[in-house]
Amino acid sequence: MRLFIGIPLEEKLLNEINNLCIKFKNLRKTKFVKKENFHITLKFIGETDEENIKSIINTMKNAFANEESFFITTNRVSAFPSEKKAKVIWFNIDKNYERIKELYRKLEEDFKKINFFSDEKEYIPHITVARTKESRDISEEIKNLNFEFKSKVTEIVLYQSILRTEGPVYNRIFEKKLI
């Protein structure tokens, strides 16, 4: 099973982001994420045996045992590796960026205890909206964007990602509600 742990977003934010993505629809050879798949990834687990699911769920329960719900905002569009050479287009996390990074750190520490790998790259909380095989300069499209969207974070979810030719399907396996 291909798994990841993520933060789902409220429907209002999904719609707001999707509506703003229209500005980028003219980018050739760009694959846009379906609105219902927008989320913030906390940890990509990848392919794992079903027998590991119980320990993953227990790890999530432990890592997020006393976490309270909170609000996030997004107010900027950016890209990896850069806006001039965009291959992945994403929305930032502004309000509570550090809080999400702390959730990530907690999760990483608890995953080490069950011998799951750590991510070597710097963790940057974001919402991926598009990918392209050819680098694009999106700096002009994003320079005059002025917005601030808000969403309440009330749960952290273990997802199964099923890859299909028409795009991935994310199934919820476990939901850890925040208090």
Domain residue limits at 27 = 2-177
Residue 33 pLDDT > 90: yes
| Cα–Cα distance for residue pair 158/94, rounded to 1 Å | 24
Are 83 and 138 spatial neighbours (Cβ–Cβ below 8 Å)? yes
pLDDT digits (tens, 9 = 90+) for 72-108: 999 999 999 999 999 999 999 999 999 999 999 999 9
Strand locations in the chain, DSSP E?
2-8, 30-32, 39-47, 70-74, 77-80, 86-92, 126-136, 149-153, 155-162, 169-177
**165 vs 169: which has the higher pLDDT:** 169
Residue 25, pLDDT > 80, answer no
The pLDDT value given to residue 90: 97
133 pLDDT tier (thresholds 50, 70, 90) = confident
Confidence of residue 116 (pLDDT cuts 50, 70, 90): confident
Residue 42: the pLDDT is 96
Instruction: Give the whole-number percent of the chain exceeding pLDDT 70.
Output: 100
119, 108 Cβ separation under 8 angstroms:
yes
How far separated are the first and last CA of the chain, in Å rounded?
Answer: 29
User: Structurally, how many domains does the chain consist of?
Assistant: 1
Which CATH number belongs to the domain containing residue 172 in this structure? 3.90.1140.10
What global pTM score does this model have? 0.94
